Structure 1
Amino acid sequence: METNTAEEAAALIPDGAVLMIGGFMGVGSPERVIDEIVRQGRRDLTVIANDTAVPGTGIGKLVSAGVLRKVVASHIGLNPETQQKMIAGTLEVELVPQGTLIERIRAAGHGLGGVLTPTGVGTVVEEGKRRIEVDGKPYLLETALHADFALVQAFMADYLGNLVYALTARNFNPVIAMAGRKVVAEVEQVVPVGMISPDHVVTPAVLVDHLVPRA
């Protein structure tokens, strides 16, 4: 595990990378790393996340800056810029039901090929997907979602990289930390090893590759 500045962490991400980013309408998103991605002028990124927040917040900054090629999300309703770019054809948007989205991410983190869900059977969601019957009931095979980088935000870390989240800012962060090939954790404070009770660790240090403390 390495300790980096936000600038150094963003520099690890190449153009065209697939990113998973934590947060729910910006709450729990790694704002400083996102700011650096924009400042460094990345291009053609794919973002997998719950939503695209709002303009000027979290993933909304990436949308506004035009650094994204594709978004895989469950909700874009509060970001008019995402909607406008989708309609104009300048941003590819794949909408996935929230439960299906997080299960596809979880599947990747647990080494599974995908999950079976009845959600979307008989609708446009089914187009291009395999339908599998189990005990006479139809399901869709939803494949696992992987990312080159998982960008998470945590309240506290120790010097090994064990992470603790704050209240609802936890949201998608622990699950995406399992599904990224490299995990970058932006944290508010770093404490000595032993200060965090093992019972309070949500994301263990073995998953964290880069730690970005508050400057």
Structure 2
Amino acid sequence: MTTKINEKELASSIPDGSTIGLVGFGGMGQCDKILKAIGHQFTETGSPHDLTVFHTAGQSDKSNGIEHIAKEGLLSRVIGGHWGLAPKMRELIEENKIECHCWPQGQLTHLLRAMANRLPGQLSPIGLGTFVDPRVEGGKINNRAKATDDLIKVIHIDQEELLLYPSIPLDYVFIRATSMDEDGNLTTEEEPLKLEIISAAHAAKAYGGKVIAQVKYLASKQSFHPKDVVVPGYLIDHYVLVDDPETEHRQVPSTVYSPIFSGDVRTPNRSLAPLPLNVRKVIGRRAVKELMPSAVVNLGIGIPGDVIGGIINEEGLNEFMTLTLESGIVGGIPVGGNEFGVARNASAILDHEYLFDYYHGAGIDITFMGAAEIDAFGNVNVSKFGDRIVGCGGFIDITQSAKRVVFCTTFTSGGLDILIKDGQLKINQEGKFKKLTKHVNQITFSGKYASDHSKDVMYVTERAVFVLTKDGLVLTEIAPGIDLRQDILDQMEFEPMIASNLKEMDPSIFQDILRESGQVEVH
């Protein structure tokens, strides 16, 4: 029977050294009321301490979610996918105050299902050749973790090489829903995402763990249509009822609740203002030219998630393809920014882990991803920059399986200033940091694995386009107005191969025009 529990009572009852599973995505879906209470309990009493936290996606938008428990001593180990929007957690990780293991987000969602079946772990080729491969770094992303034994193992089955991500028994899992009836059944009608709450609940139960649900509303028995129930009541041990949704249960960081993000209201696509013509839009416009008819498309965080959906909408290409976001969104126009993972006018909102089934199995037709560093071998780093640890999110799962990969990034960073005029590009001020470097700090995408498997990989910047070959990167296009030596070759730490038929990028990319529906060619 599901019983109500006070968040303070819950926090005080958690034994030291427990392993806790969290569910959320960025600033969405996290149990803020519960996590705040745990943080306060530790500050006041020093307990619970030395917790292990397991989570799939990032769990904060810089101020909420996992940030409430990002305290030295409270946590001893974290196994997760991303901390880019969790500055307090990053500080703990970077200063080696907690042990940190970074695994691919999709593998973490599927590991929950393996745990639900009491299997030894999740078996997959995803991660081979990257920093999660135990022959590289084993997913041990800070020095404290590197001092421990490998958790991930290399397994061979019928001469195929695979990675085994081990099961992590959970003592507690915290999941969030909108409503709960008197039998404990949960629905998610106001949530922007379903996430992996059913798999997380099953995983906890498989090892005798407790499932705690945070909810906004209580309903009488048999209030819900059976198909609307996302988690059945027999899986729920206790629930915490929200008092103040404004601070404890926001739908997305920008609002407590909007029917747009839950899919209950659709807005006219034409009501969205065109994006300004800047460096990010230029990169997005060039990337969009790689779309093909009827493609199933994935957009990653950063430039792709922020601008490509808007460009596709502006150019009337929505009907020619299906956009997806790793959070479970199908269709619509992504919001981007610190609300990456939600969209306006989605056609479907799937469970988080089920969309990764498609990514891993069928392989997305084309994915657009960001890149922080690229080297001569086509390796890409998005997970660790010097001492700054971000994590990989779903990047490895998606790029390793996709049929085509298009990386989208500025050529340099740190003060880059450009002028776009008359269909040409001019560099007013070069960025301080070169992104095309001799060696990436961490291999989040393996150029060798991609070339060995004949992957179609492209690297798009505002001034140059490269493709991956078995011999490394080849420069294939430069922007109009750009000097090959001064603006490209001198701004790289390696000398790329140059295509014999080096082309100029389409000048229309650099023109501030709104192209009408049906006038843009999809290849």
TM-score, with structure 2 as normaliser: 0.39
Q: Of the candidates 98, 104, 107, which is equivalent to residue 100 of structure 1?
A: 107
Specify the SS of the correspondent of 1:126: coil
Deviation, structure 1 residue 83: 2.2
- The match for 2:54 is 48
1:148 aligns with 2:171: yes
1:184 aligns with 2:207: no
Which has the higher mean CA deviation after the structures are superposed, 160-169 or 32-41? 160-169
Specify the SS of the correspondent of 2:20: strand
Deviation, structure 1 residue 80: 2.6
CA contact (8 A) 1:18 1:149 kept: yes
- Deviations 1:3-24, CA, capped at 9 Å, x for gaps: 1122222222122211001111
d(CA) in 1 for partners of 2:54, 2:20: 6
- Deviations 1:86-106, CA, capped at 9 Å, x for gaps: 121112111010011111122
Specify the SS of the correspondent of 1:131: strand
- Deviations 1:79-125, CA, capped at 9 Å, x for gaps: 23222221211121110100111111221112222121001223442
CA contact (8 A) 1:154 1:187 kept: yes
| Contiguous gaps of at least 5 residues in structure 2 | 43-47, 135-149, 244-523
How many pairs were matched up?
Answer: 215
Q: Whose relative contact order is higher, 1 or 2, with alpha carbons under 8 Å and at least 6 apart? A: 1
- The match for 1:203 is 231
CA contact (8 A) 1:106 1:178 kept: yes
Q: How does 1:82-121 map to 2 (within 5 A)?
A: 82-121=89-128
Specify the SS of the correspondent of 2:110: helix
Which has the higher mean CA deviation after the structures are superposed, 159-168 or 27-36? 159-168
Deviation, structure 1 residue 54: 4.0
CA contact (8 A) 2:24 2:59 kept: no
Specify the SS of the correspondent of 2:70: helix
1:170 aligns with 2:176: no
d(CA) in 2 for partners of 1:77, 1:92: 17
- The match for 2:132 is 125
| Contiguous gaps of at least 5 residues in structure 1 | none
Bigger-Rg structure (1/2)? 2
- Deviations 1:40-89, CA, capped at 9 Å, x for gaps: 11321111112241443011111157521111110012223222221211
- The match for 1:69 is 76
Which has the higher mean CA deviation after the structures are superposed, 179-188 or 53-62? 53-62
Deviation, structure 1 residue 153: 1.0
Query: What code does the residue aligned with 1:163 have?
Result: L
Query: What code does the residue aligned with 1:23 have?
Result: G
d(CA) in 2 for partners of 1:28, 1:44: 24
d(CA) in 2 for partners of 1:95, 1:202: 28
Specify the SS of the correspondent of 2:36: helix
Specify the SS of the correspondent of 1:142: strand
Structure 1 segments of 4+ aligned residues over 4 angstroms from their partners:
none
Which has the higher mean CA deviation after the structures are superposed, 101-110 or 60-69? 60-69
1:60 aligns with 2:67: yes
CA contact (8 A) 2:30 2:59 kept: no
Deviation, structure 1 residue 25: 1.4
- The match for 1:134 is 157
